[in-house]
């Protein structure tokens, strides 16, 4: 090849990669390039132009939304290194989006935070300030985030309950939740409190540390295990079907399709999914995923179990291991060894697990199944597609079995929640100043639709752009006590600090987990039938304290609170379907003190937007 041609090609290459060789000016090189481009290429260029246009279109079109992230390592929190003597401020920036994913093989719509479902974990110390900037990236729907179990002392407006403490965050808007933990310690979670959004995955864990927490010490990590039932169908469709069903003689709550551990489950009834998704479902179900914890041998780990589901109670166990229950809904308890436990929706348990099994082989790490099984007792009908069991794995290098080892005897004891005793004894006030006595039921109304009731009131959110706390509806009622107010609002109002008993008679033939916002009440009485003041047995000596309490069919429970938190606090059944069917009432405590607090501008503005004022 002649030397000149070589030189020309070299210059051309240099120009292409925009490298200055120090000898030629860029302009000259471009000149060389243009000269080197044969005219015969022009028709080719014209031919390729339409193809290029197509290529450019594909490159520039908006990226298809990615499936939700299933990275599991983030649930292993590691040793908490964030302990400070002084309270810290922890700030988070979250965007809520609608995405798709296949948590258990079948494709379904999912609501995520920062591309994750379950969303990010909040880990903090018990006196920290938490600031979460929540941006609503949904197209059409408002949203809200509730911080389950936290006190929200002085910040009722950041309790995140749409229709009660805020109007929803409109699409494209941001609300900055800003509150302190006020000593709340233990395991809890956050979730959307708008319609059925949490059913589609808008939830995550909250883990709060305190050096003085009265639990046995453990040398391993904190492991978050969010357990949930899973519906393959988008929840608003299920809700609409449930609320409009007029044809059956029992309230037909939708039955889940699968069970998931940290958003990972196994589902194989692909015949039940829409045809266009069937092949993908089959491919995925042939190669199922398991949420796996890689652990070290001879260590004690704290599993933070959260039932983040919508309808099913969940049985939890780990093959070959006992579990020591040490904390329940933020209350440290006298340790109890069990082989399994039943966790009702919205309840949390911390259990210690020691990686102490030996192995008869030395062929790598041993795997033990984590079992998270939906309890079918509350299902209204048979879902033939259901796989109630989610399997996960605990994996560690078990030391070789020595002849001296004794095979552990089969130990099978399920936790009896009535035996739980708080480790830090705290008696309830001996008497109460007031009693709110309500009856929960599920009834068919005149339209033949099924609704959930407290007394004769089935809650419906106030009209768009209104929230109880802002409208201060209880002020419409004079005096104190329980009021049925216009707009389907049942509100118990107490304007002085009082000891208040809330008794719920569950007249329904189903079991229900009830939750009270803001407070961590004492459970002072529970049993079959109805509560009879003066006759039913009341225990005020260190009773269990928890924010989510389970009342079986035709049973009652009485919780006792010192009503000292200014605000409107929801009390409701935590099953998604019963809450949207109206199973909610409100406690307004110290409403006139609440009126003196100034509402955050954004909350007021979001309400105005929802009313169409902006
Ligand atoms: Cu319920």
Residues 523 and 388 in one domain: no
Could you give the CA distance from residue 23 to residue 7 in angstroms, rounded to a whole number?
A: 12
Token pair belonging to 62: 């908006």
pLDDT at 188 over 50: yes
Note whether 476 and 532 are within 8 A (CB).
Answer: no
Question: What pLDDT score was predicted for residue 29?
Answer: 37
Task: Give the model confidence (pLDDT) of 53-99 as tens digits.
Answer: 555 554 555 455 577 766 678 999 977 877 777 899 999 999 999 99
Write out 377-435 in H/E/C secondary structure.
HHCCCCCCCCECEEEEEEEECCCECCCCCCCCCCCCCECCHHHCCECCCCCCCCCCCEE
Could you give the CA distance from residue 361 to residue 407 in angstroms, rounded to a whole number?
A: 15
More confident residue, 276 or 8: 276
Note whether 208 and 125 are within 8 A (CB).
Answer: yes
pLDDT at 220 over 90: yes
Question: What pLDDT score was predicted for residue 396?
Answer: 94
Residue 151 within any structural domain of the chain: no
**Helices vs strands, H then E, count in the chain:** 9, 31
Residue 310 within any structural domain of the chain: yes
Residue 156 within any structural domain of the chain: no
What are all long-range contacts of 375-379, with beta carbons under 8 Å and residues at least 24 apart? 375/312, 375/313, 375/314, 375/315, 375/342, 376/312, 377/313, 377/511, 378/253, 378/311, 378/312, 378/313, 378/510, 378/511, 379/253, 379/255, 379/312
Question: What pLDDT score was predicted for residue 408?
Answer: 54
Domain count, the chain: 3
Question: What pLDDT score was predicted for residue 30?
Answer: 37
User: Residues 465-474: what's their mean pLDDT?
Assistant: 73
Task: Give the model confidence (pLDDT) of 261-288 as tens digits.
Answer: 999 999 999 999 999 999 999 999 999 9
- The CA 603 to ligand 1 mean position distance, Å, reads 29
Which pLDDT band holds residue 45 (cuts at 50, 70, 90)? very low
Residue 415 within any structural domain of the chain: no
- The CA 514 to ligand 1 mean position distance, Å, reads 7
Could you give the CA distance from residue 231 to residue 86 in angstroms, rounded to a whole number?
A: 43
User: Residues 185-205: what's their mean pLDDT?
Assistant: 98
| Strand (E) or helix (H) holding 324 | strand 323-328
- The CA 576 to ligand 1 mean position distance, Å, reads 8
More confident residue, 25 or 329: 329
Instruction: Identify the three-state secondary structure at position 206.
Output: strand
- The CA 257 to ligand 1 mean position distance, Å, reads 19
Q: Find the CATH number of the domain harbouring 596.
A: 2.60.40.420
- The CA 345 to ligand 1 mean position distance, Å, reads 10
pLDDT at 42 over 80: no
Note whether 500 and 433 are within 8 A (CB).
Answer: yes
Task: Give the model confidence (pLDDT) of 222-242 as tens digits.
Answer: 999 999 999 999 999 999 989
- The CA 222 to ligand 1 mean position distance, Å, reads 31
Residue 309 within any structural domain of the chain: yes
- The CA 555 to ligand 1 mean position distance, Å, reads 13
- The CA 589 to ligand 1 mean position distance, Å, reads 24
Note whether 179 and 147 are within 8 A (CB).
Answer: yes
Task: Give the model confidence (pLDDT) of 403-460 as tens digits.
Answer: 555 555 567 899 999 999 999 999 999 999 999 999 999 998 888 888 999 998 999 8
CA distances from 341 to 349, 350, 387, 577 (A): 9, 11, 19, 24
- The CA 577 to ligand 1 mean position distance, Å, reads 7
Which pLDDT band holds residue 475 (cuts at 50, 70, 90)? low
More confident residue, 71 or 291: 291
Residues 379 and 233 in one domain: yes
Residue 137 within any structural domain of the chain: no
Pairing of strands 89-101, 129-136: parallel
Question: What pLDDT score was predicted for residue 28?
Answer: 36
Residues 395 and 455 in one domain: no
pLDDT at 7 over 70: no
User: In the chain, pLDDT over 90 holds for what percent of residues?
Assistant: 70
Which pLDDT band holds residue 23 (cuts at 50, 70, 90)? very low
- The CA 163 to ligand 1 mean position distance, Å, reads 19
- The CA 510 to ligand 1 mean position distance, Å, reads 8
- The CA 512 to ligand 1 mean position distance, Å, reads 4
- The CA 454 to ligand 1 mean position distance, Å, reads 11
Task: Give the model confidence (pLDDT) of 343-361 as tens digits.
Answer: 999 999 999 999 999 877 6
- The CA 277 to ligand 1 mean position distance, Å, reads 32
- The CA 513 to ligand 1 mean position distance, Å, reads 6
Could you give the CA distance from residue 8 to residue 29 in angstroms, rounded to a whole number?
A: 9
Question: What pLDDT score was predicted for residue 32?
Answer: 34
Question: What pLDDT score was predicted for residue 260?
Answer: 98
- The CA 308 to ligand 1 mean position distance, Å, reads 15
* Residue 127: alpha-carbon gap to chain centroid: 22
Question: What pLDDT score was predicted for residue 611?
Answer: 86
Q: Which of 218-232, 251-265, 455-469, 571-585 has the lowest mean pLDDT?
A: 455-469
Residue 253 within any structural domain of the chain: yes
Write out the residue range of the structural domain in which residue 48 sits: 3-60
- The CA 205 to ligand 1 mean position distance, Å, reads 22
Residues 346 and 465 in one domain: no
- The CA 597 to ligand 1 mean position distance, Å, reads 33
Note whether 224 and 75 are within 8 A (CB).
Answer: yes
* Mean per-residue pLDDT of the chain: 87
Could you give the CA distance from residue 71 to residue 116 in angstroms, rounded to a whole number?
A: 9
- The CA 516 to ligand 1 mean position distance, Å, reads 13
Residues 49 and 112 in one domain: no
pLDDT at 25 over 50: no
- The CA 469 to ligand 1 mean position distance, Å, reads 24
Q: Which of 55-59, 183-187, 372-376, 389-393 has the lowest mean pLDDT?
A: 55-59
The runs of H, that is alpha helices, within 133-264 are 235-244
pLDDT at 24 over 90: no
- The CA 10 to ligand 1 mean position distance, Å, reads 77
Considering 34, 60, 86, which residue would you say is the last residue of a domain? 60
What size, in residues, is the chain?
Answer: 614
Note whether 80 and 121 are within 8 A (CB).
Answer: no
Residues 340 and 466 in one domain: no
Considering 350, 376, 400, which residue would you say is the last residue of a domain? 400
User: Residues 489-514: what's their mean pLDDT?
Assistant: 93
pLDDT at 46 over 50: no
pLDDT at 9 over 80: no
Could you give the CA distance from residue 567 to residue 107 in angstroms, rounded to a whole number?
A: 41
Question: What pLDDT score was predicted for residue 50?
Answer: 55
Question: What pLDDT score was predicted for residue 528?
Answer: 97
User: Residues 324-329: what's their mean pLDDT?
Assistant: 98
Residues 192 and 300 in one domain: yes
User: Residues 561-589: what's their mean pLDDT?
Assistant: 95
Instruction: Identify the three-state secondary structure at position 546.
Output: coil
Which ipTM score applies to this complex?
A: 0.79
Residues 374 and 440 in one domain: no
pLDDT at 249 over 90: no
CA distances from 119 to 96, 168, 515 (A): 9, 19, 22
Residues 375 and 443 in one domain: no
Question: What pLDDT score was predicted for residue 529?
Answer: 97
């Amino acid at each position: 090849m002649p030397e000149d041609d070589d030189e020309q090609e070299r210059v051309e290459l240099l120009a292409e990669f925009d490298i200055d060789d120090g000898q030629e000016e860029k302009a000259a090189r471009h000149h060389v390039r243009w000269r080197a481009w044969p005219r015969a290429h022009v028709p080719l260029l014209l031919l390729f132009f339409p193809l290029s246009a197509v290529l450019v279109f594909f490159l520039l079109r908006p990226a298809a939304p990615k499936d939700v992230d299933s990275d599991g390592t983030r649930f292993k929190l590691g040793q908490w290194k964030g302990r400070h003597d002084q309270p810290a401020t922890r700030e988070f920036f979250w965007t809520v989006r609608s995405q798709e994913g296949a948590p258990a093989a079948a494709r379904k719509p999912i609501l995520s935070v920062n591309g994750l479902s379950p969303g990010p974990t909040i880990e903090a110390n018990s006196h920290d300030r938490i600031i979460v900037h929540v941006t609503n990236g949904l197209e059409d729907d408002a949203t809200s985030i509730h911080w389950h179990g936290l006190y929200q002392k002085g910040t009722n407006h950041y309790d995140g309950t749409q229709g009660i403490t805020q109007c929803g965050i409109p699409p494209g808007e941001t609300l900055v939740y800003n509150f302190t933990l006020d000593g709340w310690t233990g395991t809890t979670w956050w979730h959307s409190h708008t319609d059925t959004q949490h059913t589609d995955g808008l939830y995550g864990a909250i883990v709060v540390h305190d050096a003085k927490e009265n639990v046995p010490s453990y040398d391993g990590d904190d492991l978050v295990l969010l357990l949930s039932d899973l519906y393959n169908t988008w929840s608003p469709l299920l809700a609409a079907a449930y609320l409009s069903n007029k044809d059956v003689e029992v309230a037909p709550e939708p039955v889940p399709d699968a069970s998931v551990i940290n958003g990972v489950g196994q589902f194989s009834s692909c015949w039940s999914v829409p045809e266009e998704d069937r092949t993908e479902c089959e491919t995925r179900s042939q190669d199922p995923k398991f949420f796996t914890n890689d652990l070290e041998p001879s260590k004690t780990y704290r599993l933070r179990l959260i039932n983040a589901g919508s309808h099913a109670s969940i049985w939890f166990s780990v093959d070959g291991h006992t579990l020591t229950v040490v904390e329940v809904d933020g209350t440290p308890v006298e340790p109890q060894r069990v082989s399994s436990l039943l966790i009702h929706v919205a309840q949390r348990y911390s259990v210690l697990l020691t990686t102490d099994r030996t192995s008869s082989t030395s062929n790598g790490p041993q795997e033990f199944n984590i079992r998270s099984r939906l309890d079918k007792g509350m299902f209204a009908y048979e879902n033939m597609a259901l796989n109630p069991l989610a399997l996960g794995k605990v994996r560690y290098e078990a030391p070789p079995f020595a002849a001296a080892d004794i095979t552990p005897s089969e130990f099978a004891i399920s936790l009896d929640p009535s035996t739980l005793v708080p480790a830090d004894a705290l008696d309830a006030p001996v008497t109460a100043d007031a009693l709110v006595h309500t009856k929960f039921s599920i009834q068919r109304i005149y339209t033949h639709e099924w609704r959930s009731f407290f007394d004769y009131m089935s809650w419906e959110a106030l009209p768009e752009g209104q929230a109880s706390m802002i409208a201060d509806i209880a002020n419409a009622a004079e005096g104190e006590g329980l009021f049925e107010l216009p707009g389907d609002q049942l509100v118990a109002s107490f304007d002085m600090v009082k000891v208040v008993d809330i008794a719920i008679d569950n007249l329904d033939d189903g079991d229900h987990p009830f939750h009270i916002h803001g407070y961590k009440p004492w459970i002072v009485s529970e049993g079959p039938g109805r509560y009879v003041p003066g006759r039913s047995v009341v225990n005020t000596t260190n009773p269990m304290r928890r924010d989510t309490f389970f009342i079986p069919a035709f049973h009652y429970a009485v919780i006792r609170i010192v009503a000292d938190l200014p605000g409107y606090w929801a009390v409701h059944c935590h099953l998604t379907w019963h809450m949207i069917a109206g199973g909610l009432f409100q406690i307004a405590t110290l409403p006139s003190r609440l009126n003196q607090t100034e509402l955050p501008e954004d909350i007021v503005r979001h309400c105005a937007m929802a009313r169409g004022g902006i």
